[in-house]
Amino acid sequence: MTEKNLVTAIRDTLHDEMAADDRIVLIGQDVGARGGVFKVSEGFMAEFGEQRVIDAPLAESGIVGVAIGMALHGLLPVAEIEFADFIHPAFDQILSEASRMRYRTNGDWACPMVIRAPCGGGIHGALYHSQSIEAFYAHVPGLKVVVPSMPADAKGLLKSAIRDPDPVLFLEHKRVYRLVAEEIPDGDHLVPIGPAVVRREGTKLSCFAWGLMTHYCLHAADRLAAESISVEVVDLRCLAPLDRDTILESVRKTGKAMVVYEDNLTGGFGAEIVAIISEHAFDSLDGPVVRVAGPDIPAMPFNTPQEDFFMPNPEKIAGAMRTLAAY
């Protein structure tokens, strides 16, 4: 067991996987000579060579398109999008090519690739370095979407993503990179893609989150515990495939549910969770299903007061928990 934060867990896992399997190729803007904007691949080019650590032009469609070609010819590419905000030019490659490869070839071809993308706000990234993009991509059948909130999960899920025969979008919240550290199992630690995990057991209400919001929900639940309000916090970890069984099991136990996500409220992925609960656990509900999310404004501001207005935080979440618990 070794204590690591999330970004170190990702770096070490990627290094170990590349050292163990020479089919793994890293491609992205600045991943080579600069070692990536967050230094995840620092030193990789010197160790693994320019054929396996490829500095790409500033062209996300090209980065993902080349990675698809690599995947179709026996390699295991890990494509890095420098910030998730910049992934949108590659949307057609992800939607029309990578995610549909198995379906369109009747299973004859697979597209084993990982797309890493740092996401989320709360770091004064403003318009183009703060977006939460998961709702766009979790909508795409054939594409797995993973959002680890803990370092051990980051290691285990990244290993599983690299081994997966189909494309995986691996979202990493920038605010979580150095927010928390924990003991991580050494060796070939794998976490399966799909199952959620209950981070805190509770009886009064269920709270569902992923990424940074998992940590904020845990902080809020700690506050409410002092008020004798028991909150269960479920870290979804994976949005596609989504662990419906764990969601419904938790709601049927507590009778109340809320979903916390950083994206705009309208059309955010939390709405899908609300729909699942309403459709399959309606008889178990003892109150409305609540969403705590970002406001419906075009982008996250840079300045601190307005960024704070946009971001859900433990205080906002705790307030919503109190209201729901008293319903």
- Residue 169 token pair: 């979008």
Say whether both 23 and 155 belong to one domain.
Answer: yes
Instruction: Kindly state the average pLDDT of the residues 274-282.
Output: 98
Rg over CA atoms, the chain? 20
Decide: 164 and 158 in contact? Cβ < 8 Å. no
Q: Does residue 322 register a pLDDT over 90?
A: yes
Q: How far is CA 222 from CA 8, 141, 168, 230, 251, in A?
A: 27, 36, 33, 9, 19
Say whether both 34 and 153 belong to one domain.
Answer: yes
Give pLDDT tens digits for 46-55: 999 999 999 9
d(CA 157, CA 216): 21
Whether residue 192 is contained in a domain is answered as no
Beta bridge partners of 172: 118
Say whether both 253 and 145 belong to one domain.
Answer: no
Structural domain harbouring 250:
197-325
Say whether both 40 and 170 belong to one domain.
Answer: yes
Tell me, yes or no, if 88 is annotated catalytic: no
Whether residue 319 is contained in a domain is answered as yes
Say whether both 61 and 171 belong to one domain.
Answer: yes
d(CA 327, CA 323): 6
Say whether both 157 and 253 belong to one domain.
Answer: no
Say whether both 136 and 69 belong to one domain.
Answer: yes
Give pLDDT tens digits for 43-95: 999 999 999 999 999 999 999 999 999 999 999 999 999 999 999 999 999 99
User: Chain-wide mean pLDDT for the chain?
Assistant: 97
d(CA 5, CA 14): 14
Torsion angle of C-alpha atoms 197, 202, 207, 209, degrees rounded to 10: -30
Whether residue 190 is contained in a domain is answered as no
Whether residue 215 is contained in a domain is answered as yes
CATH number reported for the structural domain that contains residue 220 in this entry: 3.40.50.920
The pLDDT score that the predictor gives to residue 24 is 98
Confidence tier at 270 by pLDDT (50, 70, 90): very high
Give pLDDT tens digits for 130-189: 999 999 999 999 999 999 999 999 999 999 999 999 999 999 999 999 999 999 999 899
Whether residue 211 is contained in a domain is answered as yes
Whether residue 191 is contained in a domain is answered as no
Whether residue 209 is contained in a domain is answered as yes
CATH number reported for the structural domain that contains residue 13 in this entry: 3.40.50.970
The pLDDT score that the predictor gives to residue 108 is 96
Q: What percent of the chain has pLDDT over 90?
A: 99
Structural domains in the chain (count) = 2
The pLDDT score that the predictor gives to residue 169 is 98
Say whether both 148 and 297 belong to one domain.
Answer: no
* Domain end marker among 184, 219, 235: 184
Say whether both 177 and 221 belong to one domain.
Answer: no
Give pLDDT tens digits for 92-133: 999 999 999 999 999 999 999 999 999 999 999 999 999 999
d(CA 298, CA 296): 7
Instruction: Kindly state the average pLDDT of the residues 308-319.
Output: 97
Rounded to two decimals, the pTM is: 0.96
The pLDDT score that the predictor gives to residue 1 is 86
Count of Cβ atoms closer than 10 Å to residue 197 Cβ:
16
> Which positions ≥6 away from 159 have C-beta within 8 Å?
13, 17, 188, 189, 190, 191
Confidence tier at 257 by pLDDT (50, 70, 90): very high
Say whether both 241 and 173 belong to one domain.
Answer: no
Say whether both 147 and 219 belong to one domain.
Answer: no
Q: Of 73, 88, 129, 280, which is the active-site residue?
A: 129
d(CA 79, CA 114): 6
Instruction: Give the sheet arrangement for strand 290-294, strand by strand.
Output: 197-200, 231-235, 205-209, 257-264, 290-294
Instruction: Kindly state the average pLDDT of the residues 285-302.
Output: 96
* Domain end marker among 128, 155, 184: 184
The pLDDT score that the predictor gives to residue 21 is 97
d(CA 7, CA 2): 14
Instruction: Kindly state the average pLDDT of the residues 20-46.
Output: 97
> Which positions ≥6 away from 104 have C-beta within 8 Å?
none
Decide: 248 and 276 in contact? Cβ < 8 Å. yes
> Which positions ≥6 away from 303 have C-beta within 8 Å?
none
Count of Cβ atoms closer than 10 Å to residue 225 Cβ:
14
Q: State the residue for tokens 């569902």.
A: 208
| Pick from 316, 127, 324, 62: nearest CA to 213 | 316
Say whether both 97 and 172 belong to one domain.
Answer: yes
